[in-house]
Amino acid sequence: MKRKLTRKALFNVLKKVADKIPEHRNINAPNLQHPIQRAVMSCFAAFYLQQPSLLSHEKKIERKNYKHNFKKLFY
Protein backbone atom coordinates (compact mmCIF):
# COMPACT_ATOMS: atom_id res chain seq x y z
CA MET A 1 0.00 0.00 0.00
CA LYS A 2 1.42 3.34 -1.06
CA ARG A 3 1.35 6.24 1.35
CA LYS A 4 0.59 9.71 0.12
CA LEU A 5 3.14 12.42 0.65
CA THR A 6 1.26 15.25 2.27
CA ARG A 7 2.30 18.88 2.07
CA LYS A 8 3.07 18.87 5.78
CA ALA A 9 5.25 15.75 5.47
CA LEU A 10 7.09 17.24 2.48
CA PHE A 11 7.79 20.47 4.38
CA ASN A 12 8.99 18.52 7.43
CA VAL A 13 11.43 16.51 5.31
CA LEU A 14 12.67 19.68 3.61
CA LYS A 15 13.18 21.38 7.00
CA LYS A 16 15.14 18.37 8.31
CA VAL A 17 17.39 18.42 5.26
CA ALA A 18 17.86 22.20 5.56
CA ASP A 19 18.81 21.77 9.23
CA LYS A 20 21.71 19.57 8.16
CA ILE A 21 23.23 22.31 5.98
CA PRO A 22 26.08 23.80 8.00
CA GLU A 23 26.03 27.53 8.64
CA HIS A 24 29.14 28.83 6.89
CA ARG A 25 28.37 32.52 7.29
CA ASN A 26 29.61 34.72 10.11
CA ILE A 27 26.86 34.61 12.75
CA ASN A 28 27.82 38.07 14.03
CA ALA A 29 27.71 39.75 10.61
CA PRO A 30 25.36 42.76 10.57
CA ASN A 31 23.74 41.66 7.31
CA LEU A 32 22.94 38.11 8.50
CA GLN A 33 19.18 38.19 8.93
CA HIS A 34 17.88 34.74 8.08
CA PRO A 35 19.04 31.29 9.12
CA ILE A 36 19.79 28.75 6.39
CA GLN A 37 16.57 26.80 7.06
CA ARG A 38 14.45 29.91 6.51
CA ALA A 39 16.31 30.76 3.29
CA VAL A 40 15.82 27.21 1.96
CA MET A 41 12.11 27.30 2.76
CA SER A 42 11.71 30.71 1.14
CA CYS A 43 13.42 29.48 -2.04
CA PHE A 44 11.26 26.37 -2.07
CA ALA A 45 8.14 28.51 -1.49
CA ALA A 46 8.89 30.67 -4.51
CA PHE A 47 8.79 27.67 -6.81
CA TYR A 48 6.02 25.88 -4.90
CA LEU A 49 3.87 28.96 -5.43
CA GLN A 50 4.95 28.95 -9.09
CA GLN A 51 6.83 32.22 -9.14
CA PRO A 52 9.11 32.68 -12.16
CA SER A 53 12.01 33.89 -9.99
CA LEU A 54 13.06 34.62 -6.42
CA LEU A 55 12.94 38.33 -7.19
CA SER A 56 9.31 38.19 -8.28
CA HIS A 57 8.55 36.13 -5.16
CA GLU A 58 10.13 38.81 -2.95
CA LYS A 59 8.16 41.54 -4.69
CA LYS A 60 4.89 39.65 -4.29
CA ILE A 61 5.60 38.98 -0.60
CA GLU A 62 4.97 42.69 -0.05
CA ARG A 63 1.34 42.29 -1.11
CA LYS A 64 -0.94 41.62 1.84
CA ASN A 65 -2.95 38.68 0.44
CA TYR A 66 0.14 36.91 -0.95
CA LYS A 67 2.00 37.36 2.33
CA HIS A 68 -0.96 35.94 4.25
CA ASN A 69 -1.08 32.87 2.00
CA PHE A 70 2.68 32.44 2.21
CA LYS A 71 2.70 32.57 6.02
CA LYS A 72 -0.28 30.24 6.29
CA LEU A 73 1.44 27.61 4.15
CA PHE A 74 5.03 27.88 5.30
CA TYR A 75 4.95 28.87 8.99
Q: pLDDT tens digits, residue range 23-58?
A: 888 878 777 777 888 888 888 888 888 888 888 888
Q: For the whole model, what pTM was predicted?
A: 0.66
Q: Domain-by-domain residue ranges, the chain?
A: 7-21+32-74
How far apart (Å, rounded) are the C-alpha atoms in residues 74 and 62?
A: 16
pLDDT for residue 17 is more than 90: yes
Q: What whole-number distance in Å separates Cα of residue 37 and Cα of residue 40?
A: 5
